[in-house]
Structure 1
Amino acid sequence: MDEGRRTVLFTLATSQGIRSYRAFSAEYTRVAVKLQSDGQEVAPVPGARHYERLLKVGGLKTGPHAPTARVLEQLFQRPVEELLRPAAEMPELEREHSTQARSLPVLDESELLMNARDAASHAGEAAALHLDEMTLDQLHDDLVQLARKYGYTAPTEVYEGANSLLRTAQVLLERTRSPEQHTRLYYAAGQATALLAAVSFDLGALTPAVSFARSAAQYGKTIGNGPLQSYAYGMMAFMAFWDGRPSEAVRLAKNAQQFGGLGDTARRRLYTIEARAHGHLRNDGQAQRAIRDALDQNSGQRDELHDDIGGEFGFDAARTAMSNATTCLLLRDGAGAEDSATMALTLLSSLPVPEQPIVVSGPAAVDLARARLMRHEVEGAQEALAPVFQVLPNWRGSGMLERLTAARIELTRPEFRDAPTALTLAEQIEDFSSFSPARRLGATSPLAIEA
């Protein structure tokens, strides 16, 4: 037994030569008979297991009853409360009996049995707190499915699903002692909070979005997962320029690029986010450099989160083109924006309609409309926005709405003031924007897409 777990009773029994249960039982019975002859109430000798618990700190949930305590106090000449204290708290006791203790056997069969039972009990508890691997596999599969259908699922539905999966991961963490399973569950919790960060932003709730992103980064740090930390930092960079802090966004995007284990997709995403941040700073040279860096990521390296799971964690050519279109608009490069937005929509058109992610197709269409408005093509802008106006209210995320706000501002230019088509388009944008989860949650129009 670990010395720190030995009671005072253990030390005294050892020093008196009655450490074994047989010797203790004989001496206890002798003292009990004497006390009983004096008219005092006593209890029979404790059983072997009860005796073993008396020797171990915390072995008893409650102290011995008075008839038992009376015999123990007479036998060892100390109050029972003191007998059950850790021997380590009484160094004078150890010194007093050290000579006697050294002359006695260190172990006996009773102690070996007690330690064996302790080990068996602990092993049994550990085995009981090991989850069935299929439970973890199912959680992983559910997260993969949610991430992959993110782009064509209503934000409120994604939020409910991600929140439920996060709670599941947190509960399961309390039910296992396996380090390997803890790693898998922290990874699952990180993915769920990352999805909650993304969908909170789409719903126009920036403050909880930032909090979820930080939580995802912390989960990634706990298990040393570079791609998860990178994704979370990328989200925080994205939210920083959306909140009017483009310099902070550049810093966060560069920090995200330093994590290990990143594949081409992860790096493409981070360079694209960095380009947007430089666009908000009107730094044309750095924005164009970041766009080139994004397009140059073709080493063939992959990581599980961004490539194997993909979906919302992925960043394909269509999404890259969509984001680059927005960067070009920030730099007032209408031709570049139109080319990139057209490329994004062309790439998406190769997918079945139900699988075309609205979080990409919607913003790309709005950016195309803005690019056309920059060269005074109101009818062309109206044509580009026609599919956007068909998007149902629950699917109208903040990214799409802020771009529409910028398009609405374009329509206030003097050359559009008396154009009937421009007035009609402006009214359509206002009506469309008023019915959305983001507006109901009080989303505003900060620096996200500047006019």
Structure 2
Amino acid sequence: MARTVDPRFAERMRDLLAERAVSYRVLAARTYYAKTYLHALATGAKSPTLEAAARIDDALAADGELVGYINEPAGSDGAAASRDSARLVELLCGGQVVDALDAAALGAHQLSVDYLSSPPDEMLRQATQLRRTAMAVLPRLHGRARAAEETDLLLALGHMSGVLAYAALDLGDAAAAAGHARAAWQCADTIDHHGLRAWVRGTQSLICRFGSGYGKALTYARDGMHYAHDGAAQARLLCGQAQSHANIGDGPAARRELTAAADAHGREHTPADGLFGFSAAKLAYYSGSTLIWLDHRDDAEHAQTESLRAIGLWEVSDPHERSMGDEALARVYLATARLQLHQLEGAVAALAPILDLPEDRKLSWIGKRLARIAEILAAAPYTNDPVARELGERIHAF
């Protein structure tokens, strides 16, 4: 029996595109099919293969509805061979290499932007799917004639691997994050891309800080400075050094590096979107998250000011620039600073929206930093305070 497609497939695909507010351009980035091919499927001019239906279904979060419109004959080697031939035609004709490259670059960019406002488990799933599809194009780009195309694809693959590193770390898997970061570094190193190298070194430093490996974190951040020829990239790496020094008790070095980071960020730099950018809000966020580890009251006051500044900047920013995970963490840092300043009620207010976060927004970093707040609440002057006790109980239930 030949494969058949229910005519409702095209209509439902169009409905889902409208319901999800997804353009053909974005769908092409998510599925790695050419826009013309996707439009032909949505209008019924072409019939999808089972694989195409599955990838579109996944990209539009249709929960198998679109796949259900495909009646695929089961079992025989002949049917499998026919599917493979149809897939080969799609690769060579329905989606030309140039379309695949464009889709890879667009997909990597879209992932970096979506990451700021999406749960990490969803980003991990999407980035895994997109990178796997992009990797399938790589063997077709060997030779001098395709060197430029290979460079473009490897840059996109490096960015996708960077998204995977962040998603894994936000989910608490530092080992997987380190593996994805190594893959991103290899992409950067292969194409000699200093910008991606600097970003990866900053991310590797972050991964080390997650596991309290502050010496190695410093090494990565310092090495990244060899490749950072952009003010924002330098600021990010300097903030990583400041955080590391703060955690090992070198307050003077941490303060110097925060000052240097602010100076670097004030210099002209090339704007970057999403996860690969380093905004003024991010700079303030890093400052607050560094200063809470220092001992002086002035540091705690400055941490409170910087955390509030980060939150305020994100609250008025465009939605696609608002980093929901970092904004939540900034509130945790704000609460920490307020406890250090003996402002218990202010800390409770700062944590109120964090303790009510849905499960898919409870990043591993939040759990780690809340654990430190619980330690502060268990010590003087909060030991016998009923408000502190209640807050500690809510943190333990988080």
TM-score over 0.5 (shorter chain): yes
CA distance in structure 1 between the aligned counterparts of 2:232 and 2:188, rounded to whole angstroms: 18
Larger Cα Rg: Structure 1 or Structure 2?
1
CA distance in structure 1 between the aligned counterparts of 2:309 and 2:269, rounded to whole angstroms: 24
| Aligned position for 1:146 | 111
User: What is the CA distance between 1:355 and its match in structure 2?
Assistant: 5.9
Name the stretch that deviates more: 384-393 or 198-207.
384-393
Q: Is the 8 A contact 2:116 2:320 kept in 1?
A: no
| Aligned position for 2:342 | 376
- The one-letter code sitting in structure 1 at the alignment partner of 2:263 is D
Q: Is the 8 A contact 1:131 1:175 kept in 2?
A: no
Q: Which runs of 5+ in 1 are unaligned?
A: 1-127, 433-451
User: What is the CA distance between 1:175 and its match in structure 2?
Assistant: 2.5
| Aligned position for 1:191 | 159
1:287 pairs with 2:254: yes
Paired residues for 1:56-205 under 5 Å: 131-177=96-142, 178-205=146-173
CA distance in structure 2 between the aligned counterparts of 1:352 and 1:229, rounded to whole angstroms: 28
- The one-letter code sitting in structure 2 at the alignment partner of 1:284 is G
CA distance in structure 1 between the aligned counterparts of 2:392 and 2:321, rounded to whole angstroms: 29
- The one-letter code sitting in structure 1 at the alignment partner of 2:243 is R
| Aligned position for 2:283 | 320
1:233 pairs with 2:187: no
Q: For 2:234, which of 262, 267, 272 is the aligned residue?
A: 267
CA distance in structure 1 between the aligned counterparts of 2:293 and 2:343, rounded to whole angstroms: 19
Q: Is the 8 A contact 2:113 2:321 kept in 1?
A: no
| Aligned position for 2:180 | 212
CA distance in structure 2 between the aligned counterparts of 1:281 and 1:222, rounded to whole angstroms: 34
User: What is the CA distance between 1:352 and its match in structure 2?
Assistant: 5.8
- CA 1:415–1:395: 2 relative to 1, 3 Å: same
User: What is the CA distance between 1:132 and its match in structure 2?
Assistant: 3.3
Q: Which runs of 5+ in 2 are unaligned?
A: 1-91
CA distance in structure 2 between the aligned counterparts of 1:353 and 1:227, rounded to whole angstroms: 25
Structure 2 counterpart SS, 1:416:
coil
CA distance in structure 2 between the aligned counterparts of 1:319 and 1:202, rounded to whole angstroms: 17
- CA 1:226–1:131: 2 relative to 1, 3 Å: farther
CA distance in structure 2 between the aligned counterparts of 1:354 and 1:175, rounded to whole angstroms: 34
1:430 pairs with 2:396: yes
User: What is the CA distance between 1:235 and its match in structure 2?
Assistant: 1.0
| Aligned position for 1:340 | 306
Q: For 1:278, which of 237, 245, 249 is the aligned residue?
A: 245
- Deviation string, structure 1 residues 337-392 (Cα, Å, up to 9, x no partner): 11111111111121367863222111110111111111222111110111112321
CA distance in structure 1 between the aligned counterparts of 2:319 and 2:373, rounded to whole angstroms: 25
Q: Is the 8 A contact 1:169 1:186 kept in 2?
A: no
- The one-letter code sitting in structure 1 at the alignment partner of 2:253 is Q
Structure 2 counterpart SS, 1:417:
coil
- Deviation string, structure 1 residues 254-312 (Cα, Å, up to 9, x no partner): 1001016x32211111111111011112111111111011101233132xxxx34x201
CA distance in structure 2 between the aligned counterparts of 1:135 and 1:350, rounded to whole angstroms: 36
- The one-letter code sitting in structure 1 at the alignment partner of 2:326 is V
| Aligned position for 1:331 | 294
| Aligned position for 1:301 | 269
| Aligned position for 1:56 | none
Moved >3 Å (runs of 4+): 128-132, 352-356
CA distance in structure 2 between the aligned counterparts of 1:352 and 1:223, rounded to whole angstroms: 33
Structure 1 counterpart SS, 2:375:
helix
Q: Is the 8 A contact 2:114 2:320 kept in 1?
A: no
Task: Report the RMSD for the aligned CA atoms in angstroms.
Answer: 1.8
Q: Is the 8 A contact 1:318 1:360 kept in 2?
A: no
CA distance in structure 2 between the aligned counterparts of 1:257 and 1:353, rounded to whole angstroms: 30
User: What is the CA distance between 1:151 and its match in structure 2?
Assistant: 1.5
Q: Is the 8 A contact 1:131 1:176 kept in 2?
A: no
- The one-letter code sitting in structure 2 at the alignment partner of 1:368 is L
- CA 1:355–1:191: 2 relative to 1, 3 Å: closer
- The one-letter code sitting in structure 2 at the alignment partner of 1:376 is H
User: What is the CA distance between 1:196 and its match in structure 2?
Assistant: 0.6
| Aligned position for 1:114 | none
| Aligned position for 1:84 | none
Q: Identity rate of aligned residues, in percent?
A: 27
CA distance in structure 2 between the aligned counterparts of 1:202 and 1:422, rounded to whole angstroms: 28
CA distance in structure 1 between the aligned counterparts of 2:397 and 2:254, rounded to whole angstroms: 34
- The one-letter code sitting in structure 1 at the alignment partner of 2:307 is A
Count of equivalent residues:
299
- The one-letter code sitting in structure 1 at the alignment partner of 2:237 is L
Paired residues for 1:391-406 under 5 Å: 391-406=357-372
Structure 2 counterpart SS, 1:233:
helix
